[in-house]
Amino acid sequence: MVEELVAAGAGLVTAGVVYAAAAARVVKQYERGVVFRLGRLRPEVRGPGLTMIIPGVDRLRKVNMQIVTMPVPGQEGITRDNVTVRVDAVVYFKVTAPAEAVVRVEDYRFAVSQMAQTSLRSIIGKSELDDLLSDREKLNQGLELMIDSPAVEWGVTIDRVEIKDVSLPETMKRSMARQAEADRERRARVINADAELQASKKLAEAAQEMADTPAALQLRLLQTVVAVAAEKNSTLVLPFPVELLRFLERAQPATPLPPERGEPST
């Protein structure tokens, strides 16, 4: 009798261990468990840790709650100003409602990927090339809103969307390079013209000052001679100023005219 009780107890213990092993499930910290009982969704979502289900009756499906980084394949399109471009992007999203993500959509990752590609092509068609190159923050916000609107019904929240790269045809790259070069050349010419204008004004002021004081011209001439002599040239050309000739002419006394024939000399 005792042996039968011991055997029955051992059998119950073994059955209990087998049942516990079949019913026990471990949900990780970054996961949530969605339970289906005979095909029906249970309202409670199992949290992280050890959880128990009914073997053969319940089915536990784990849903990852981490932020998923999904690259969007490059999409080719024509911008609003008729330029063919290829745009790559990346989408960051996470599941906020595990039950909705499992029940409402067959594969929420594939659904988000397809929606991101469609929205990216739509953004390309609505934007101009300059916006794609310089105003990406605004386009990122618009793209995020387009993807997030249907994703909310799937229990998925779009964290952010970033346009990663914009590829242009080689002809367009060369055209943009020529445009940038022409713009820089135009600015250089404007700067040179402005410098010439300022220099001409200063030279006019200097000429006026030298006209009022002729000695200033002589000092400037001597400074030029000193600057040229510093180069250690073998030949030095020294211009003779006209103002110095005029000064010598004024300093020389006037010579008397010779007497005419027939007039007595004094």
Q: Structural domain boundaries of the chain?
A: 17-64, 67-173
Considering only residues 151 and 230, tell me which one the structure prediction assigns the higher pLDDT.
Answer: 151
C-alpha–C-alpha distance, residues 201 and 209, integer Å: 13
Return the SS3 of 96: coil
Q: Which of 88-92, 150-154, 176-180 has the highest mean pLDDT?
A: 88-92
User: For the whole prediction, is pTM greater than 0.75?
Assistant: no
pLDDT in tens, 41-87: 888 888 898 888 888 888 999 999 999 999 998 888 888 888 888 99
Sign, Cα dihedral of 90, 95, 100, 103: positive
Q: Which fold has domain 67-173?
A: Tetrahydropterin Synthase; Chain A (3.30.479)
Mean model confidence pLDDT for the chain: 82
Return the SS3 of 70: strand
User: CB within 8 A of 254, min separation 6: which ones?
Assistant: none
